[in-house]
Amino acid sequence: MEEKYSGMTASSYNNVLDTKVKKEKTDWININVKVRSSDLPILNQRLKLLGFDTLGQLTKELVNGTFPHITEDKQIDNLYKNDDKSCQKSLLEGGYNRDFYERANTQDMYDYYLNIRKFHKNTCRDLISYFKRFRDIFFSIEQVDQIRALTPRVRSKVMDAMRKFGAYYLFRYNNEQCIDLVEKIIRRHNLSTGQSEHGKLYIVDDNYLEEKLRQLFSIGEGEISTIIKFGMFSGLREDEMIHVYNKHICPDLSGCACSKLHVIEKPNGVSVVLIQWHRGHKKCYFTLVPTYILKEFKAMDAFEYRPHIRSAHEYMKVKTKDDKITFMWLRKAHYNVMCRIMKPFEANVLAGRAKSVDAKHYAMYELNEMSEKYAEAWKKFDISVVQ
C-alpha cells in the first residue's frame, strides 16, 4: 500500500477508492443509438469494412481526429469543389489540404520530366524551380491574384510549371483532378489574360534577313561554324540537335522501324533526316539539311548544350553585333526562308508544328519536291546547299 495511505483502515481506504472512481466516471457519458435488429448485421459489416470491430473503436478515432483519413485525392477534391468565396465550402484555410503539393517529391518530378516527357535538363530545372517558388501562392485563394501582377514571361512560366505538375500527378497517382484544378484556378483568376502573342504581326525586311545570314555564313571553318550552319539549315530546336547528334544512323533504307536516324541523300545535295521524336506538344518529324553539313555535324568529337550551343549562341551576338541574334533566332530565320518558296503548311512540317497526317503525307510522297523547294529557298539568298 502506498505511503500516503498508511495508517488507514481498510474501510477508509475503500471509501477513498470509491470516491476516486465516481469522480472519474463523471467525465464519461453514454451515447445510445437505436438500430433495428434486422439492420445490426449490416452495421457490423460496415464497421468491418472501415476497419473497426465496435462502435466504440470508431467513436474513439473520430474524437482523436484520426478518422476519416484525409488522402491527397481528398485534399485535391476539397480544393476542386471550392468554386468561389461565396460557396458553402471554404477549405483552403486548413493546413491539411496543402499536403498534395507541399510534399510533392520534386526529385521524382524531375525524373518524370527528364525521362518520361523527354524535356531538356534546363527545362526540367526551370519547371521545378517555378513550382517550388510559386506553389503556395498559386494554390491559395488569398494570394493567387498576386500572379496576375507578374510580368507576362514569369506568369507564363508559373502557369506552365503548374500545368506540368498536374500532368505529373496524373502520371504518378492516376488522378486527373489536379489537372482540372490547375486549369480552373487559371480560368477563375484570369491568369492567362493578355498572355498570348500569337496574334501579333511581325515584319521582317528581306535586306535585314539577308545581311544577318551573310554575316553568319561568313564564319570560317571550325566547330562553331558547323553548329551555327546546322542549326540554320535544319531549323531544329536545341534539344533536337543534341538528339540527332547522339543517335546513330541506320544503314537500312527499306522502311526500317528502329529508333535510329534514317537518312536519305538526294541527288541535289540535300539529305532527308527522319527523326520522329516527340516531347509533349513539341514534335520533330524530319528535317532537310545539306548533306555535307550533316556529315560535318555528325563527325564532331562532342556536342552538348554547354559548352557547344552556349558558345555558338554568344559568338553569333558578337559576330553580328546584334543582341537579337540568339540561337533561337536561327529557327525563326529558317522558317522565314522556307516560307519564301514553300507553302506555309509545308514549312510547318519542317518546323514540327503540323499535324502528323500532313507530316506522313510529305514523308511518303513529297520528299523529292520538298527537297527541291528547300534548295531553291536558300538560293534566293545566294546560299548553296552544295559545298
CATH number of the domain located at residue range(s) 206-379 in this protein: 1.10.443
Whole-prediction pTM = 0.56
Structure confidence at residue 212 as a pLDDT band (50, 70, 90):
confident
Alpha-carbon distance 305 to 316, whole Å? Answer: 15
pLDDT tens per residue, range 21-68: 555 555 677 777 788 888 888 788 777 767 777 888 888 877 776 666
pLDDT tens per residue, range 112-160: 998 888 787 888 999 999 999 999 899 887 788 888 888 888 888 999 9
- Domain boundaries in the chain? 3-64, 70-198, 206-379
Long-range contacts, 373-380 (Cβ 8 Å, 24+): 373/338, 373/341, 373/342, 373/346, 374/270, 374/288, 374/338, 374/341, 374/342, 375/268, 375/269, 375/270, 376/341, 377/337, 377/338, 377/340, 377/341, 377/342, 378/233, 378/337, 380/337, 380/340, 380/341
* Identity of residue 306: R
- Among 270, 282, 382, which Cα is nearest to 337's? 382
* Identity of residue 26: T
Structure confidence at residue 376 as a pLDDT band (50, 70, 90):
very high
* The residue to which cell 473503436 is assigned: 57
Q: Which of 158-167, 170-179, 231-240, 273-282 has the lowest mean pLDDT?
A: 273-282
Answer for the pair 184, 87: CB distance below 8 angstroms, yes or no: no
